[in-house]
């Protein structure tokens, strides 16, 4: 079945450091890929998405590229801020009869220190 593997956390960085959170997936067909962010006490918010191979999703300085050949969708940001501290989830969207079902990784907790 479909699965998502995320880089284990927690990740602690200083402000303005470079961020990479690794994500790889296993899926049949050509799923869409997503990064969600969850702030303390809140639900998930979509951060960015990519719907086909070589697409790059970007938002708020975060970027991720859909790499079909390596089945990866790594999240990057050039300069993190304290306000980026949150839990980040990589997810894939199923197709066909399971359309709408998303499979999530276990999340990576990011803490940014001033």
Partner 1 sequence: ETGVTQSPTHLIKTRGQQVTLRCSSQSGHNTVSWYQQALGQGPQFIFQYYREEENGRGNFPPRFSGLQFPNYSSELNVNALELDDSALYLCASSLELAGNSEQFFGPGTRLTVL
User: 6 and 21 in contact (C-beta within 8 Å)?
Assistant: yes
Residue 39 CA to residue 3 CA, distance in Å, equals 23
By CB under 8 A, tell whether 98 contacts partner 1: yes
Task: Specify the residue, 41 or 114, whose C-beta has the smaller distance to partner 1.
Answer: 41
| Contact (CB, 8 A) for 105 and 88 | no
> Is residue 49 a contact point for partner 1 (CB under 8 A)?
yes
**Alpha-carbon span 58 to 67, nearest angstrom:** 15
When asked if residue 97 is in the footprint of partner 1 (CB under 8 A), the reply is yes
Piece in contact with partner 1 (CB under 8 A), picked from 16-24, 58-66, 74-82, 85-93: 85-93
46 binds partner 1 (CB under 8 A): yes
- Which residue's structure tokens are 């975060």? 62
Task: Assess 91 for contact with partner 1 (CB under 8 A).
Answer: yes
Residue 93 binds partner 1 (CB under 8 A): yes
CA distance 112 to 105: 21
**Residue 14 touches partner 1, criterion: CB under 8 A:** no
Biggest CA-to-CA distance, the chain? 47
- Contact set with partner 1 (CB under 8 A): 4, 31-32, 36, 41-46, 49, 51, 89, 91, 93-95, 97-107
């Amino acid at each position: 079945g479909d699965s998502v593997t995320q880089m284990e956390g927690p990740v602690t960085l200083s402000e303005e450091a470079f961020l990479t959170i690794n994500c790889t997936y296993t899926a049949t067909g050509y799923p869409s890929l997503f990064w969600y962010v969850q702030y303390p006490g809140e639900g998930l918010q979509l951060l960015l998405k990519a719907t086909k191979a070589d697409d790059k999703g970007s938002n708020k300085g975060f970027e991720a590229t859909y790499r079909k050949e390596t089945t990866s969708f790594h999240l990057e940001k050039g300069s993190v801020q304290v306000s980026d501290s949150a839990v980040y989830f990589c997810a894939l969207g199923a197709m066909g009869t399971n359309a709408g079902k998303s499979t999530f990784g276990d999340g990576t907790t990011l803490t940014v220190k001033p």
